[in-house]
Amino acid sequence: MSFVRKTHPLRRMVLAGAATAATIVLLLALKPNTDPALAQADAAPSTGLTADASLSASPTASPSASATPARTVGKERASSSPSPSRSASRSASRAPAPTRTSGAPSAPKTTSAAPTTRTVTGATAQTKYGPVQVRITLTDGRITGATAVQSPSSSPRSREISSTAVPKLNQETLAAQSADIDTVSGATYTSAGYKQSLQSALDQAGI
């Protein structure tokens, strides 16, 4: 009993030491591996390095990434936009050829034919005082001239009547444009022969 009593304080020290060791082990087990401040301090440099690495990596990657669209867009623009030579040739082929105009206006061409003139002589008409024959001139189917090739002239009186009556009969023919003319007073036979020969000439001319 005396031995037990002597060893009892030692036993309590051993138990106390064991309890203290167990408490320290338990605290060490529950305490995080690293201090939060130290962990943040350690994490900050690593994050900075990562950011720097990402930033340093991004410039090297971004130029290639940005250069590829730029080159692609440039190629697309170059392929889509026609070359100047092709556009110029197309515009030149589409543009109408300029027409040359002379400074002075050209004179109008006249296509009208020259007037047709012909002379027709009628048949000789026999009268009491002598023959009468009329000749007419036609221009484009119109009587432009009339004259007596033959007229009564067997006596001075006949020549006097003819010289007065024939000019009047010629004027009547031009005015009437036919054989429907008036008889000259005092030259009935001469006027009748003139009308007969005039109608023959008009028949030949087809008027």
**What is the separation of C-alpha 176 from the centre of its chain, rounded to a whole number of angstroms?**
60
Average pLDDT of the residues of the chain: 73
**pLDDT class for 28, splitting at 50, 70, 90?**
confident
**Predicted local distance difference test score (pLDDT) of residue 64:** 42
**pLDDT class for 22, splitting at 50, 70, 90?**
confident
Burial 166-195 (b: 16+ CB within 10 A, else e): bebbbebbeeeeebebebbeebebbbebbb
Query: Can you tell me the distance from the alpha carbon of 110 to that of 51, in angstroms, rounded to the nearest whole number?
Result: 99
Closest among 176, 171, 168, 178 to 205, alpha carbons compared:
178
Read off the pTM. Answer: 0.47
% residues pLDDT > 70 (the chain): 56
Instruction: Identify the DSSP state of 178.
Output: S
% residues pLDDT > 90 (the chain): 41
Query: Can you tell me the distance from the alpha carbon of 174 to that of 179, in angstroms, rounded to the nearest whole number?
Result: 10
Instruction: Express each pLDDT in 175-187 by its tens digit.
Output: 999 999 999 999 9
- Tell me which of 96 and 166 has the higher pLDDT: 166
**Predicted local distance difference test score (pLDDT) of residue 13:** 80
If you average pLDDT over residues 180-199, what whole number do you get?
Answer: 95
**What is the radius of gyration, based on Cα positions, of the chain?**
72
**What is the separation of C-alpha 146 from the centre of its chain, rounded to a whole number of angstroms?**
63
If you average pLDDT over residues 42-65, what whole number do you get?
Answer: 42
Q: Is the pLDDT of residue 170 over 90?
A: yes
Residue 55 corresponds to which tokens in the numbers above? Answer: 């930033």
Instruction: Express each pLDDT in 67-122 by its tens digit.
Output: 444 454 444 454 444 455 555 555 555 655 556 655 555 665 666 677 899 999 99
With both helix axes pointing from N to C terminus, report the angle between 188-205 and 156-176 in degrees, rounded to the nearest 10: 40
- Cβ(132)–Cβ(158) under 8 Å? no
**What is the separation of C-alpha 4 from the centre of its chain, rounded to a whole number of angstroms?**
133
